[in-house]
Amino acid sequence: MEYILIIIGAIFVNNIVLAQFLGICPFLGVSGKVKTAVGMGGAVLFVMTLATIVTWLIYTYILSKFGIEYMRTIAFILVIASLVQMVEIILKKISPSLYQALGVFLPLITTNCAILGVAILVIDKDFNLTYSVVYAVGTALGFLLALVIFAGLREHIEKLPIPKAMQGIPAALVMAGILALAFMGFSGLV
């Protein structure tokens, strides 16, 4: 039951993008098309889960054991950057079309503060490895959900006659604010 609560809380109540405002750059940058948003969400799911496992292990068995916990941010950034390079190589070989579609946004995962944020949050919340993985998967699914909903809204709004001053990023920011308000309705659920 605790795992379900962690997942529901990570997806809806404490959505990494809409409640904690982490990962805004890819949220706004990759949300033009649903297909690209799903690809980016899948890449974030993979990297976030793997990064959380590796960073938790490094923190628990290396940094804590040697009393150098203050090095966690630097160590976590290096791990995340390495994992993103690995995902980039794999995507290039397995799905060249998805690799091309993501383009410049794939390297943005390296600097995606949502991934680093989750790695740090699981340490700060004192989660064990299992809870950390469940939290990372739930958070990544929440990121994916927010990204896909937002991309669908952006695709739809392109077809509507809106004032020229509101086209593009201004309309996207207004929609993001409304979406964040909608997700606030889930607060108190868990």
Tokens encoding 15: 């959505």
Residue 163, SS3?
A: coil
| Choice among 14-28, 63-77, 100-114, 124-138 with the minimum mean pLDDT | 100-114
* Measured distance CA(63)–CA(76) in Å, rounded: 11
Region for 22 from its dihedrals, namely left if φ exceeds 0, alpha if ψ lies in -120 to 50, beta otherwise: beta
Among residues 50, 49, 17, 9, the alpha carbon closest in space to that of 136 is found at 49
pTM of the model: 0.87
CA distance 173 to 139: 22
Find out whether 23 and 16 touch, Cβ atoms under 8 Å.
yes
- Considering only residues 134 and 106, tell me which one the structure prediction assigns the higher pLDDT: 134
Which H, E and C letters describe 65-94, residue by residue?
A: CCCCHHHHHHHHHHHHHHHHHHHHHHHHHH
Q: What digits encode the pLDDT tens for the residues 16-53?
A: 999 988 888 778 877 778 887 888 888 888 889 999 99
